[in-house]
Amino acid sequence: MTASQNSIVQVETFYLRVSKPQLPHMGRLVPMNEQGYIVDPDNGTIYPGDDRTLLLKISCADGTVGWGETYGIVAAGVVRELVSDVIGPFLIGKSPLDVQAIWQSLYNMMRVRGYTTGFWLDALAAADIALWDLCGKLLNQPVYKLLGGQRRTRVPAYITSIQGADLAERLEHVAQLHAEGFRAFKVHAATSFDAVELIRLMRARFAEIEIMLDLHWCFTAAEAVSIARQIEPHRVAFLEAPCHTEDIDGLARVAAATSIPVAAGEEWRTVYDAHLRLKTGALAVVQPEMGRTGITQFIRICQLAELHHARVAPHATIGFGIFMAASLHASSVIESLSLHEVQNHFVHKYLGHFDTAMQCEQGFYRLPEGPGLGIAPKDSLWQYLVP
């Protein structure tokens, strides 16, 4: 194939929204604004009241297509404009096989203006995933082969959404998922009636499971230490996001004060974010999120984690499937992988609208198959397209 045949000729974005009934939060409905957003009263984070994502399609001169996806649930129009006004025109005429050089060039273009995270990096993540998908298709190889080779054919999954109106219902939900084959569960302190008590009940009923606690950046370092000491007797696998993301010193203080491994990383975009935290020695577990990092930075973060002898437990935020496929490809090559998060209330929701073998069942992800990422939209997906 000549360079002109595999050069990029078109870059497109597709914004998808799916209406759904609003569910009560902690027994009550949270007011939704006219843009369709709610603000979580516990952790102060903005969420859409419906399901949303942003897909990116890159086409080559020979007709080969690559698909990407980013974390497009809030202000997706910002990312769309960055793609159409800056990234798309830059990519035209480039070869997807230069994917890592392209990422660095795009990052360099905006770093002097301070755009080293946020929406600009979200846009880069979508483009990066699509470029890696194209690389695999052009070379007729799955992406994991291009990343160094597969170390595992399935990826162990942990549950992140324990549902129920009270502790009893939540414990029964854990029992249901346990019966389905899952053996690892994360409790969210910002959305649980009593996270400490739920952990105690889970440990008393299921001696063999792994339990994690996510503090959602809601606490000071001192408060996080107090919580950690309450749950230390219950063999907690890791304590996630114990204090505000910018409080790097606080992260180190928490790690020094508890025997529970400390985890962080879902909000990072680059290996530079990871370096600032890992060099403190605070982190035992890093949690890169493919929808924010793209494949290039995901792999670099994992390599840095291995240099610091930290484990990798990738985060899985809300998406329709494409960046999850990318995350599984990358996870399958990581030596220090422990568990991969699964949004169990979301993972099967839209997979029927994609051609893919990817699934999550009986406690494990089944990886996509075929060249590239092994996932592509079916025509049925476009019923959710927003112009």
337-365 per-position pLDDT tens digit = 999 999 877 777 899 999 999 999 999 99
For residues 226 and 318, membership in a common domain is answered with yes
Instruction: Give the 3-state secondary structure of residue 101.
Output: helix
For residues 197 and 61, membership in a common domain is answered with no
Q: Look at residues 145, 180, 196 and tell me which one is the last residue of a structural domain.
A: 145
Q: Which residue from 72, 74, 69, 41 is spatially nearest to 55, judged by alpha carbons?
A: 69
For residues 365 and 316, membership in a common domain is answered with yes
Quickly state the pLDDT bin for 27 (edges 50, 70, 90).
Answer: low
3 part of a folded domain = no
Quickly state the pLDDT bin for 327 (edges 50, 70, 90).
Answer: very high
Average pLDDT over residues 223-240: 97
More confident: 37 or 43: 37
For residues 107 and 238, membership in a common domain is answered with no
For residues 220 and 344, membership in a common domain is answered with yes
Q: What was the pLDDT predicted at 5?
A: 76
Q: Look at residues 129, 145, 161 and tell me which one is the last residue of a structural domain.
A: 145
Q: Look at residues 123, 145, 167 and tell me which one is the last residue of a structural domain.
A: 145
Q: Could you list the residue range(s) of the whole structural domain that residue 248 is in?
A: 150-371
For residues 65 and 82, membership in a common domain is answered with yes
Mean model confidence pLDDT for the chain: 94
Q: Tell me the chain's radius of gyration from C-alpha atoms.
A: 20
Read off the pTM: 0.96
For residues 117 and 167, membership in a common domain is answered with no
338 part of a folded domain = yes
pLDDT tens digits, one per residue of 278-314: 999 999 999 999 999 999 999 999 999 999 999 999 9
78 part of a folded domain = yes
pLDDT at 2 over 80: no
**CATH number of residue 193's parent domain:** 3.20.20.120
How many structural domains is the chain composed of? 2
For residues 253 and 157, membership in a common domain is answered with yes
Check: CB of residue 198 under 8 Å from CB of residue 167.
yes
